Each structure stands twice: as structure tokens, then as C-alpha cells.
Homo-oligomer: A and B are copies of this chain.
């Protein structure tokens, strides 16, 4: 069930986008690895809801941070893309690995002008979005699931599973720490 709505591009939004790009380039992108508190402050200044213990790498490319929610202890590794045009919410303890791409924007392909859509993404608690994985617009991933490296997620995906493929499907339960020495 799609929850997309038309994406707004009013004057104030464009102004905020331009200002954020400038701040990102000058203050965020070049901040040193240990300046996590500084980056959290910049994100909060632009309206992002950032929990306790969140770590966001300086190379993370973010659109519309005011639509971004990172709960406690979320970790975002280098070179991740968070296109939060339509809103991105990441549950506590989730790890987003390097080069992952979360794209909460779409086009209405039934519209001749291909108008932009704001298409939210929700990733549950304790997930792992692995290296170079892609999470598409309107995608929801249940708590505790793991999206394999390079896999592509669309639609509603269950929690507690190993998700793999293009498009990703739940192939088996994700072994948890509680299960000890389980092997893949």
C-alpha cells in the first residue's frame, strides 16, 4: 500500500535545500571522524530527529534532513546516501553500511510530467542494511532484518529475516546473537 504524496518544491523548501547543501559542503563533509557530536548538532539544527549515541559519517549525503529520524545508536557508515525527500525513519540500533542508498523519492510514471513523489522509508530497530544495498521508495523493513550486500528492497519486508536479491525476498530467519553459534 503506497503512502506516497506529491513532493513539494515551494520557495522555502528550495531555500532550505540550498542552505543545507552549503552547510553540508562547508561544515559537515569535511568534519573529522571524531566530530560526531558536531554533525549531530548540524543535523538537529536542520530539523532532523537524532537519538542518543547516533553516529553519522562525514561522507553521508543527505537530502532534506528535516525529514530524517535516526533513533538511538543508529550507525551510518561512509558514503551512504539518505535521500529523505519523502521521510526516512531508522529504528534504534540499526547499522547502515557503506555505500548503502536509501531513496525516499519517486516519480509518478502515470503523469506526463513525471511529477516527484514523497515516498517514505521506515527501517525497524536492530536491522542491518549491508554494503551497497538499495532501499527503494515506500519500503518498510521489519525489526531485526538484514538486507544483504548489494540487495535491493522494495515494498513491505518482514522483520527478523535475511533479505536478499533483486528485488530482495526473505530467504530465512536471521540468526541472532541469542542463538549463538548458528552458521549461515
Contact = CB atoms under 8 A, between A and B. Distances in A.
A125 interface: no
Interface string A59-99: 00000000000000000000001000000000000010101
Interface of A: 2, 81, 95, 97, 99, 101, 103, 107, 109-112, 114, 128, 130-132, 134, 136-137, 146, 149-152, 164-167, 174-177, 179-184
Given A132-B101, A134-B132, A166-B166, A182 B150 contact: no
State the main secondary structure of chain A at its contact with B: loop
A127 to B, nearest CB: 10
A137 B109 CA distance: 26
Contacts of A95: 107, 114
A164 B152 CA distance: 11
Number of copies: 3
B114 A128 contact: yes
A184 B117 CA distance: 14
A99 B176 CA distance: 33
A184 to B, nearest CB: 8
A128 B109 contact: yes
B136 A149 contact: yes
Contact of A149 (B111, B132, B152, B176): B152
A151 B152 CA distance: 9
Nearest to A105: B131
A13 B155 CA distance: 41
A110 B166 contact: no
Given A103-B131, A109-B146, A112-B177, 13 more contacts: A95-B107, A101-B131, A101-B132, A103-B149, A107-B128, A109-B174, A109-B175, A110-B179, A134-B150, A136-B149, A136-B150, A164-B167, A165-B167
